[in-house]
Amino acid sequence: MTDASTNSAPAARKGASLHRTDPRTRRRNGAERRFRLYGAAAISMGLLFLCVLAVSIIRSGAPAFTHAVVEVEFTLSEAQFEEAESQLLKTAVYERYFNAALTAQLRDAGFDVAFDENTIRRIIGKTGGTIRSYYRADPDRVGESVTLDLPVSSRVNGYIKGRVTRENLLDSRFLTQADLDLVDAMRDRGLIETKFNWGFLTGKDSGVDNPGGAGIGASVVGSFFMMLVVLVLSLPIGVAASIYLEEFAPRNWFTDMIEVNISNLAAVPSIVFGILGLAVFIQFMHLPQSAPLVGGLVLTLMTLPTIIISTRASLKAVPPSIRDAALGVGASKMQSVFHHVLPLAMPGILTGTIIGLAQALGETAPLLLIGMVGFVARQYPDGVVDGFLDPNSAMPAQIYTWASRADPAFYEKAWGGIIVLLVFLLAMNIVAIILRRRFERRW
């Protein structure tokens, strides 16, 4: 107090003009300006990284959504259909008809490039199976002139998208330089076109040798059933547990310990939950392996702490005077919580839940441990029960599986899968915002 500067400062300020900022004010304003600058810089950095990330994801992933198809006009006569079906190697017959039709079409178009059946096979793969199932699905098509869209092989696809170039292509049994001449010629005449690849969104995982046929649809379904389990279990359990802990439980060493442990659980690596799930749900309880039900249970364990922590925080943020007001008019504890506190905490609870679900949706490691690896996503479940119990994968596990396969075409699929995953996350966040708006009635 006797410090000279503290004593002299007010004296100096007395009577000073308001039109001149004194040095102390100038220093304070300077500090504030600098702080704002740091903040703006931090935000810009964040935005910059976000842009870089978004651009690179879209650039790498977009090709997965398109594929090159060969458009072939084709008519299968009644006689041909019957002959093919009577043979032992049915698909080979279909393939022969098709190759004849394509060759004729190319000749008519005045192609001067030399090619043979093997060339066609290298460009669009074995077509017999596809064509046979096309006609068997709808026998009425026999005898009609139809245009078949047949996806080209993954290497040709890569060539068209620029991933494979003539320079780095070595002649192999998969593709030769000469084949590319035909491909170029077909593209010039519009016989090969790039189209949107619906199969990527609706399809299932394919074998390692068929990246073109791989789709993420089945794992989207797997993720969906898993999220259903997580939501149905973790939201009610998490919210009920938080309400009890926050509003009803006595404060003592036991509840303190629970609180500390919940915080710790939120920081436990997800792979630990995976191995726990493997031990408890599969080895001990004998639930089916690779089932979305088990995946959902494991992710529920992981999500619960997040939901509990955020729910408790938003319950704490409700002013105590509201509780007093409710108790004061004779409401019971439970009425005060459910009529007044919970509605006010709802936006925060929803935000926490959606963040927890989003985390769970993107989780890979625990799923790998309970067998929900990508390549089990080979078929769609037949019904709701199967959806929970049949082996399936989930989006992130599928992406991981694709990324670890050797063929670069799968790498592209992985990026495409990431885009699908991000779209789902975005959708969830939008739902969260809408729900929050609905509950957050500003009074």
Partner 1 sequence: MKVIDMYDAPHTGRTVTSNDIKISARNVNVFYGDNHAIKDVSVDIEDKMVTAFIGPSGCGKSTFLRCLNRMNDTIESSRIEGTICIDDEDIYDRRVDPVQLRAKVGMVFQKPNPFPKSIYDNVAYGPKIHGMARNKAELDEIVEKALRRGAIWDEVKDRLHAPGTGLSGGQQQRLCIARAVATEPEVLLMDEPCSALDPIATAQVEELIDELRQDYSVVIVTHSMQQAARVSQKTAFFHLGNLVEYGETGKIFTNPEDSRTEAYITGRIG
Binding residues (CB under 8 A) for partner 1: these are 251, 319, 321-333, 335, 339-340, 344, 441, 443
- CA separation for the pair 360, 369 (Å, rounded): 15
Q: Residues 6 or more apart from 425 whose CB is under 8 A from it? A: 358, 361, 362
Q: Residues 6 or more apart from 118 whose CB is under 8 A from it? A: none
Nearer to partner 1, 136 or 339 (CB): 339
Q: In whole angstroms, how close is the CB of 344 to partner 1 at the nearest point?
A: 6
Q: In whole angstroms, how close is the CB of 240 to partner 1 at the nearest point?
A: 21
3-state SS assignment for residue 345: helix
Nearer to partner 1, 253 or 443 (CB): 443
Q: In whole angstroms, how close is the CB of 247 to partner 1 at the nearest point?
A: 10
CB 63 within 8 A of CB 161: yes
Nearer to partner 1, 121 or 436 (CB): 436
What is the side-by-side order of every strand in the sheet holding 192-196? 145-151, 66-75, 192-196
Nearer to partner 1, 15 or 250 (CB): 250
CB 235 within 8 A of CB 304: no
CB 134 within 8 A of CB 75: no
Nearer to partner 1, 137 or 329 (CB): 329
Q: In whole angstroms, how close is the CB of 330 to partner 1 at the nearest point?
A: 3
Nearer to partner 1, 236 or 319 (CB): 319
Q: In whole angstroms, how close is the CB of 326 to partner 1 at the nearest point?
A: 7
Nearer to partner 1, 95 or 247 (CB): 247
Secondary structure letter of residue 252 according to DSSP:
S
Phi, psi for residue 428 in degrees, rounded to 5? -65, -40
Q: In whole angstroms, how close is the CB of 395 to partner 1 at the nearest point?
A: 40
Q: Give the residue from 220, 219, 391, 364 showing the smallest Cα distance to 291.
A: 391
3-state SS assignment for residue 151: strand
- CA separation for the pair 258, 241 (Å, rounded): 11
Helices 90-108, 117-124: inter-axial angle, 10-degree rounding? 100
CB 222 within 8 A of CB 418: no
- CA separation for the pair 424, 388 (Å, rounded): 20
Nearer to partner 1, 296 or 347 (CB): 347
Nearer to partner 1, 73 or 324 (CB): 324
Q: Give the residue from 249, 294, 308, 300 showing the smallest Cα distance to 270.
A: 300
Q: In whole angstroms, how close is the CB of 340 to partner 1 at the nearest point?
A: 6
C-alpha R_g of the chain: 32
Q: In whole angstroms, how close is the CB of 334 to partner 1 at the nearest point?
A: 10
Helices 342-361, 217-243: inter-axial angle, 10-degree rounding? 150
Q: In whole angstroms, how close is the CB of 345 to partner 1 at the nearest point?
A: 12
